[in-house]
Amino acid sequence: MSVLALILVLGSALLHATWNWLAKRATGGLLFVWVFSALSTLIYLPVIVLTILALRPHIGTVEIALLLGSSTLHIGYFFLLNRGYQVGDLSLVYPLSRGTGPVLAALGAVALFGERPSSLAFVGIALVTSGVFILTGDVRALRRNGALTAVVYGLLTGLVIAMYTLWDKLIVSGLLLPPLLLIWVSSLTRTITLAPYALRHRSTIISLWRRYRKEALGIAVLDTLSYILFLVALTFSPVSYLSPARQISILLGAFLGVKMLAESDARRRFIAAGVMLLGLVALALG
């Protein structure tokens, strides 16, 4: 992994953890997803117009189909993530989703793209996986604490993360489409798809805007910017290294959940995040 790729991924991780903290504070469900998706579409519209005029990417039937497929996966991601935040802690759901996603993505990259991580990289994957098990703990205790549902949503979110990581890798490195175009089309598709639902709940939309406009604006900017940095890195670096390395954000997510949102079970969650960090270091060195 090059120094430039590592810088891009670490910046992406910082922005990603921050917008997830904002999302947990709002926990507005799909209506809130529509609000920040619409904002992101409008905010980045001038930039996407300039990008298309400057780069003139080829957009044919195959490109459109893959872009719509990516958008569908991202809709599923936001739905599962927001449901997880509605029923569980940030310091539980966020590390789970960000920990399982890259492991599955790295294994998928080996199977689909023929990438060959080193032995050290596989040690890193094992450490990240161990951190996930430490984080979840005893399933019976999770059931008693009412956290099992949150764990399920976290794991399902991780599965979708792996799917869209591999899918988007193909788009930006195989078809050479600009990363900004990919993420903007995703925001636009979410806005259009959820528009009928949002129109039926206009009063709730107004209420969400009044209460969480700062959070919505923050997510609208940071979500897109975070993923752009990651996709740019993907254009010249292997997904089996970059996807796990980006998950250093789990440390930030655990910190924000425990310290800023006063979530419980801090010691075990920080230990789990630390084990995952060791895995990320191994992956980066590998």
Q: At what angle do helices 179-199 and 29-43 cross, to 10 degrees?
A: 130
On the question of pLDDT at 251 being above 80, the answer is no
pLDDT band of residue 193 (cuts 50, 70, 90) is: very high
The domain tally of the chain equals 1
Gap between the Cα atoms of 99 and 96, Å rounded: 5
Answer whether 268's CB lies under 8 Å from 148's CB.
no
Token digits of residue 187: 């925001």
Residue 144: predicted pLDDT = 60
Q: Which domain holds residue 263?
A: 3-285
Residue 255: predicted pLDDT = 76
Residue 140: predicted pLDDT = 59
Q: Could you write out the three-class secondary structure of 141-204?
A: HHHHCCCHHHHHHHHHHHHHHHHHHHHHHHHHHHCCCCHHHHHHHHHHHHHHHHHHHHHCCHHH
Q: Which residue has the higher pLDDT, 140 or 119?
A: 119
pLDDT band of residue 243 (cuts 50, 70, 90) is: low
Gap between the Cα atoms of 75 and 86, Å rounded: 17
On the question of pLDDT at 156 being above 90, the answer is yes
Residue 125: predicted pLDDT = 77
Taking the mean position of all CA atoms in its chain, how far away is CA 97? 8
pLDDT digits (tens, 9 = 90+) for 36-95: 999 999 999 999 999 999 989 988 999 999 999 999 999 999 999 989 998 888 888 888
Token digits of residue 271: 């230990």
Best CA proximity match to 172, nearest among 248, 99, 230, 242: 230
pLDDT band of residue 145 (cuts 50, 70, 90) is: low
Q: Which residue has the higher pLDDT, 100 or 285?
A: 100
Gap between the Cα atoms of 101 and 106, Å rounded: 9
On the question of pLDDT at 141 being above 60, the answer is no
